Amino acid sequence: MSDASLDGAKSALSKIRNIGITAHIDAGKTTTTERILYYTGVSHKIGEVHDGATTTDYMAQERERGITITSAAVTCEWDGHQINIIDTPGHIDFNIEVNRSLRVLDGAIFIIEGVAGVQPQSETNWRLADRYNVPRIIFINKLDRTGANFKRAFDTLKEKLDIVALPLQLPIGAEDNFQGVVDLVEMRSIIWEGGDLGAKFHYGDIPADMKEAAEEARQTLLDTALAVDDAAMEEYFEKGEVSTDTLKRCIKKGTISGEFRPVLCGTAFKNKGVQPLLDAVRDYLPAPDEVEGIRIAPPEDEEVDEDFLPIVPVDPEGKFAGLAFKIIADKYGTLTFVRVYRGVLNTGDTVLNTTNGTKERIGRIFKMHADKRQEVKSVHAGDIAAFVGLKDTKTGDTLADPADPVVLERMQFPVPVIDISVEPKTKDAMEKMTIALQKLTAEDPSLHLRTDQETGQTILSGMGELHLDIIVDRLRREYGVDAEVGAPQVAYRETITQPHTETYTHKKQSGGSGQFAEVTIEFAPSENKDEIVFENKIVGGAVPKEYIPAVDKGIRAQSTTGVLAGFETVDFKFTLLDGKYHDVDSSALAFEIAAKACFREGMKKAGPVILEPVMEVEVTTPQDHVGDVVGDLNRRRGIIQNQESAGSTAIIHAQVPLKEMFGYISHLRSATKGRASFTMQFHHYEAVPRNVADEIIAARG
């Protein structure tokens, strides 16, 4: 690339913002996205969630239910900058969408509800953004609602997220009287003229009754923001003030480093506060080359300190490298969404999938606008685009130039906690259903598909009842498969509570060479959660080294069927201590069979228990129903963690076994005359009480 074209590429890169909009369910993410698209000229009318007419909620299920299910990518322009936005779901069942979106974004807007403040899903998404070091700004939304309180919502940022929250605005008015904001950077007011489309606003003086609060907040802003830049601090000490450009530079620096998190406010539904939010995206969130990039993946099965892994920076000049973060199978074929980190890719190029070693030819490339598409001939570092027709690329795979086959950092996916059985209503539809489910599980890595060995049923595992309900609905609508669905089942696990050493000898003689293998294995609880750990302590060749992998394979294969009720066994360590072999009769198969039998015998004596998923539940209810709600949660084996008040509303936090939460929404609505709501998300696995374990074992019969 010539110097001139390289300068042009870098200049174009500085005008790109790849951002996500994320929050708790119903905090206003999709509504805010609609306003952004309207004010940036992408849409000529504003779609509303309650009308089922939004741009990013384009699936039939999203429009009917008024929720976001799949993250949608849209592109818009603001003040000469290209903003690529991903609107992510708030419902915990679709947390996979937030996870993979945050992995490939350079910045994020976190929307916090002005009445409730930080809610559980806000916390979960915040921790995900921490994992990927995503710079973010906070927008306190819905300040027009009854009970909205900026200060209370702001205080929850510090209490629940443990961050340095830095207000850049203060609200003028509250609830029905919310008119605009005080801009603490420019020290002026921004007042919106009416609430219809809110495109018109004017700048003015700060209201007299807010001057003292504004001066105090401005001082906090200066003290916090200038502390990240020595030159700016010097300018302040010399002149007693700093230029707006200097202050903005410091806010951007602190936002990217995470020293503090800027806070803005408004009401997206009433069209107030969106334009300054877009200015903040332009001014404070980073361009693709202003963040560190993405780490390369550690070698498989190697323990490596992530801080020492090399980083692939966003570089328009380097060899092509991109991360496939989402796959959609639609009527036009398979669309693979790719975030480009390095280089340029043109239509017709061939790339290497460095995750699985296959080559892929790039057919057509699209820039996506929700479910609409615009074909382009090439993509560059910093872009997000969709490739058509990739055959062997899955979510989390790396695509790279064969001349520099880098493997980018992989994604981590949540563990499914709920199962259903699905069977086609006619035998002829079996193949059709299998193909459809394979496509759906390729799209969504939090969806698992397996066949129950005992019953032959097809078992679908997901993140919650709503998640699986949507999948079954998509099977019917998109693939024409009517399925008989079994009642939701909890995805139980088994584990052990004490160490035990077992010796097992496998002998079989049937004329000619026989089978012989003996293993002595210690089974013990493991501190490595969600892992099975193997240690080999064979000395002196008691078991030849070529047979050791067969022992590992046998135990792991058998662990899918536990010894109490046939559930998968997790969180244990097994150590091969000793064994015997025969020169003629021993083989890898013999040692694998011996290991499986040793597992079946040994695990029974190692204190096996059944584990159940325990959910973190948050119930929002009017104060006069608190007693009923708490009593009901206690009856469901729930443990109340805490309870807080927000005006006339109470918020109850509890941990409740998933088994007890099936059908809870109907019960809650009837107990509170439809005035309460709840959210829940997976928290941890825990041993079930003995009486419950006996019921589960009896039911598995």
Cα–Cα dist 591/578, whole Å? 12
Q: Helix 29-39 to helix 274-284 angle, to the nearest 10 degrees?
A: 80
Alpha-carbon distance values, 65 to 91, 467, 473, 541 (Å): 12, 13, 12, 63
- Residue 627 neighbours by CB under 8 Å, 6+ apart: none
Q: Give the β-pairing of 448-451 and 500-508.
A: unpaired
Alpha-carbon distance values, 231 to 101, 235, 239, 290, 678 (Å): 36, 6, 12, 20, 49
Tell whether residue 287 is among the known ligand binding residues. Answer: no
Tell whether residue 57 is among the known ligand binding residues. Answer: no
Tell whether residue 285 is among the known ligand binding residues. Answer: no
Cβ atoms 156, 113 nearer than 8 A:
no
Cβ atoms 311, 293 nearer than 8 A:
yes
Closest CA to 517 of 551, 485, 484: 551
- Residue 93 neighbours by CB under 8 Å, 6+ apart: 462, 463, 464, 465, 466, 467, 470
Tell whether residue 30 is among the known ligand binding residues. Answer: yes
User: Which residues share a beta bridge with 190?
Assistant: 181, 203
Tell whether residue 143 is among the known ligand binding residues. Answer: yes
The secondary element (H helix, E strand) that includes residue 698 is: helix 690-700
The secondary element (H helix, E strand) that includes residue 556 is: helix 548-558
Greatest CA separation for the chain: 101
Helix segments in 227-288, DSSP class H: 230-239, 244-257, 274-284
Tell whether residue 88 is among the known ligand binding residues. Answer: yes
Cβ atoms 228, 135 nearer than 8 A:
no
Tell whether residue 23 is among the known ligand binding residues. Answer: yes
Tell whether residue 102 is among the known ligand binding residues. Answer: no
Tell whether residue 10 is among the known ligand binding residues. Answer: no
Cα–Cα dist 678/621, whole Å? 9
Q: In the chain, what is the straight-line distance between the N-terminal and C-terminal CA atoms, in Å?
A: 69
Cβ atoms 189, 200 nearer than 8 A:
no
Based on C-alpha coordinates, what's the Rg of the chain?
Answer: 28
Cα–Cα dist 351/321, whole Å? 9
Q: Structure tokens of 159?
A: 């209490």
Tell whether residue 367 is among the known ligand binding residues. Answer: no
Q: Structure tokens of 235?
A: 């300018």
Tell whether residue 173 is among the known ligand binding residues. Answer: no
Tell whether residue 214 is among the known ligand binding residues. Answer: no
Tell whether residue 29 is among the known ligand binding residues. Answer: yes
Q: Structure tokens of 137?
A: 């700004």
Burial (CB < 10 A; 0-12, 13-18, 19+), residue 21, is buried
Question: Computed from CA positions of residues 197, 199, 200, 206, in that sequence, does the dihedral angle turn out positive or negative?
Answer: positive
Annotate 165-198 with b (16+ C-beta within 10 A) or e (fewer): bbbbbbbbebeeebbbbbbbbeeebbbbeeeeeb
User: Which residues share a beta bridge with 252?
Assistant: none
Tell whether residue 90 is among the known ligand binding residues. Answer: yes
Tell whether residue 87 is among the known ligand binding residues. Answer: yes
The secondary element (H helix, E strand) that includes residue 430 is: helix 430-443
Q: How many CB atoms lie within 10 A of CB 143?
A: 25
Binding-site entries for GTP: 23-30, 87-91, 141-144
Binding-site entries: 23-30, 87-91, 141-144
